Amino acid sequence: MENINNQRWKELTSQDDNKVILDVRTDEEVADGIIPNSIQLDIYQPQEFMDGINAMDKTKTYYIYCRSGGRSAQACQIMEQAGFERTYNLEGGYSNWDGDTAMPKS
């Protein structure tokens, strides 16, 4: 896991064709907006979260965020233990995000 700031996140994701952007917030938090093209897996739903990551491709690079950076750091650690090699945690999370946002698809 590597903690990265907004600028580094934008640089890496713009150049990475093998990326998955993962939002580990709750449905209520996601309703406020998302980083475009992200997939939600609520870390507070442990069984769904584990089922979700177990179905993911471990060869991809994962960019993970939550509201403030704590849960996403935890998600990175869980994913590393599950065999994921490249995980990045957004420092400060969505509440500190200054890039593009979108509304989730319902």
Instruction: Please list the active-site residues.
Output: 66
Region label for 29, one of left (φ > 0), alpha (ψ between -120 and 50) or beta (otherwise): alpha
Separation of alpha carbons 21 and 41, rounded Å: 11
Contact (Cβ atoms closer than 8 angstroms) between residue 65 and residue 35: yes
Burial class (CB in 10 A: 0-12, 13-18, 19+), 65: buried
State both tokens at 45: 């739903």
